[in-house]
């Protein structure tokens, strides 16, 4: 079988099970990580609930141990629990077998090195790929040790300690775990919170029988929206498959955009850490950046992608950073992202505001901004070239794809790192302006297909 280099993505490893990601390859990746990780010491390995995740995690562990690495097997966990394990116990690294929100026939591996540093293609994953492809490993004299560890209680205590649930009203909410890993951890969390929560799809099932565990897609929020509206709940929360993202719907059943969550959390952070830097990606609303400045903070812009945002949060000493897909990063969480911590912070912010979630969203959303729009194309370079020409009189930059800034609107168009699509984020002062620019962009995309 030809080595599947293409499954080594910008931020992690993702591929179809069997045809692209096999136990043999996972063992080679484990051995490659054992050799590449720059710090000696223990490596934590966890996994999600997909049918093949246990087998693939066992293969990763074999590869690590063959090269002499001591391993903690922490079992079925959310991805953010791996980040916590590396940070809290000062480990040499962590690997979690998961394909996050991808369909059930996919799996993958997220890798972190010491100090909870994410490993992407330009920060070590390319070297790990090349080592795994060569597969020329000399086993260590002594096989590394293996220890089974359970860290759920420590993780929940760490997360809940960041907020003050005793100050909250008794929220009445719905939570959709999407049959993903959050469903295993949330019961322990809920024991520590003064809220009433209807539990939706908490049973672990890596075939995702109810809907894909991707809360960024509004279609996957339909059940949650209906439950919130029917029961007049205060709001709803949905988690992705590996639990490192949380999405919200307000009491009116409206999905809350990722940029709105960044605004909501940023205000809370800036009240506690005045003048802090707030990292955000190129797709973030103008309103969010304006609000951060008005609240005394400093917005810092970077490329989309959790690897870039997490790294910049640490580099500039920011207290908080957010990606519009829902990955939220906290200095108090080893500069790492977490769906659980994000959900707790948003609930703390709602409690302190004394307002409904819909009121906060309406207050902070100053412009018209639809959810991200995807266009299928195999010719993204031609699309971007044509857009640069069409909008030549507007300010442009290519930090990540193409960003065009005009007084009445802005947009960012960038190629996906995981799919054959280009992703459009656009915002305008009015609906009429938005629709006019969107039609123009769509015509250009269609004419270059």
Closest-CA residue to 367 (of 411, 308, 413, 321): 411
- When the pLDDT of each residue in the chain is averaged and rounded to a whole number, the result is 96
Q: Rounded distance, CA 348 to CA 357, Å?
A: 11
Over the range 427-441, which residues count as b (16 or more CB within 10 Å of their CB) and which as e?
A: bbeeeebbeebbeeb
Q: What angle do CA 376, 381, 383 make, to 5 degrees?
A: 60
Biggest distance spanned by C-alpha atoms of the chain: 70
**Which residues pair with residue 403 across a beta bridge?**
397, 412
For the stretch 27-42, pLDDT in tens is: 999 999 999 999 999 9
Q: Say how many C-beta atoms besides its own lie within 10 A of residue 273's C-beta.
A: 17
Over the range 233-256, which residues count as b (16 or more CB within 10 Å of their CB) and which as e?
A: bbbbbbbbbbbbbbbbbbbebbbb
Q: Rounded distance, CA 410 to CA 412, Å?
A: 7
CB 133 within 8 A of CB 5: yes
Which active-site residues does the annotation give?
Answer: 100
Residue 418 has pLDDT above 70, yes or no: no
Domains of the chain: 5-150 (3.40.120.10), 154-250 (3.40.120.10), 258-364 (3.40.120.10), 373-447 (3.30.310.50)
Residues of the chain above pLDDT 90, percent = 92
What is the model's pLDDT at position 312?
Answer: 93
What is the model's pLDDT at position 283?
Answer: 96
With 0-12 CB in 10 A as exposed, 13-18 as middle and 19+ as buried, what is 420?
A: exposed
At residue 203, φ and ψ (nearest 5 deg) are: -65, 130
Band of residue 1 on the pLDDT scale cut at 50, 70, 90: low
Beta-strand relationship, 246-250 and 235-239: antiparallel
Where are the extended beta strands (E) located within 32-167?
A: 43-47, 71-76, 93-97, 106-113, 117-118, 146-148
What is the model's pLDDT at position 260?
Answer: 97
Residues listed for the chain = 449
Beta-strand relationship, 117-118 and 93-97: unpaired
Q: What is the mean pLDDT of residues 218-234?
A: 97
Report the predicted TM-score, pTM, of the whole model to 2 decimal places: 0.95
Please tell me the chain's helix, strand, coil percentages from 3-state DSSP, rounded to the nearest 5: 40, 25, 35
What is the model's pLDDT at position 245?
Answer: 96
- In the block, which residue shows the tokens 């509206």? 229
Q: Rounded distance, CA 162 to CA 320, Å?
A: 13
For the stretch 158-204, pLDDT in tens is: 999 999 999 999 999 999 999 999 999 999 999 999 999 999 999 99
For the stretch 320-379, pLDDT in tens is: 999 999 999 999 999 999 999 999 999 999 999 999 999 999 999 999 999 999 998 878
- Token pair listed for 430: 């009015």
What is the model's pLDDT at position 360?
Answer: 97
Closest-CA residue to 372 (of 213, 217, 178): 217
CB 64 within 8 A of CB 43: yes
């Amino acid at each position: 079988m030809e080595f599947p280099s293409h499954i080594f993505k910008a931020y992690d490893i993702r591929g179809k099970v069997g045809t692209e990601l096999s136990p043999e390859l996972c063992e080679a990746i484990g051995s490659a990580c054992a050799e590449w990780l720059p710090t000696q010491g223990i490596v934590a390995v966890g996994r999600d609930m997909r049918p093949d995740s246990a087998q693939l995690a066992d293969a990763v562990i074999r590869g690590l141990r063959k090269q002499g690495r001591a391993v903690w097997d922490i079992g079925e966990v959310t991805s953010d629990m791996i980040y916590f394990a590396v940070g809290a116990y000062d480990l040499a690294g962590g690997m979690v077998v998961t394909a996050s929100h991808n369909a059930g026939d996919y799996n993958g591996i997220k890798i972190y090195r010491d100090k909870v540093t994410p490993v992407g293609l330009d920060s070590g994953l390319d070297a790990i790929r090349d080592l795994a492809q060569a597969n020329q490993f000399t086993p260590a004299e002594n096989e590394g040790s293996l220890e089974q560890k359970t860290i759920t209680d420590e993780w929940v205590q760490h997360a809940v300690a960041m907020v003050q649930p005793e100050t909250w009203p008794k929220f009445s909410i719905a939570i959709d775990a999407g049959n993903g890993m959050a469903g295993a951890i949330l019961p322990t969390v809920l024991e520590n919170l003064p809220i009433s929560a209807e539990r939706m799809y908490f049973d672990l099932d890596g075939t995702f029988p109810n809907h894909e565990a991707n809360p960024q897609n509004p279609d996957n929020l339909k059940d949650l929206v209906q439950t919130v509206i029917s029961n007049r709940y205060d709001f709803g929360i949905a988690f992705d498959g590996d639990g490192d993202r949380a999405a919200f719907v307000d009491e009116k059943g409206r999905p809350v955009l990722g940029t709105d969550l960044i605004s909501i959390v940023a205000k809370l952070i800036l009240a506690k850490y005045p003048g802090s830097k707030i990292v955000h990606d190129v797709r973030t609303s103008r309103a969010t950046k304006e609000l951060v400045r008005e609240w005394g903070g400093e917005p810092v812009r970077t490329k989309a992608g959790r690897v870039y945002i997490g790294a910049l949060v640490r580099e500039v000493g920011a207290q908080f950073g957010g990606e519009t897909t829902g990955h939220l990063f906290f200095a108090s969480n080893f500069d790492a992202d977490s769906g659980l911590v994000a959900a707790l912070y948003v609930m703390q912010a709602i409690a302190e505001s004394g307002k409904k979630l819909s009121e906060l969203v309406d207050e902070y959303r100053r412009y018209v901004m639809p959810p991200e729009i995807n266009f299928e194309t195999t010719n993204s370079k031609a699309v971007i070239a044509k857009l640069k020409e069409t909008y030549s009189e507007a300010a442009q930059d290519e930090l990540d794809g193409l960003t065009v800034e005009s007084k009445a609107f802005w947009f960012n168009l960038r190629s996906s790192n995981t799919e054959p699509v280009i992703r459009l984020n656009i915002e305008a002062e009015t609906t009429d302006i938005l629709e006019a620019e969107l039609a123009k962009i769509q015509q250009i995309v269609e004419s270059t297909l």
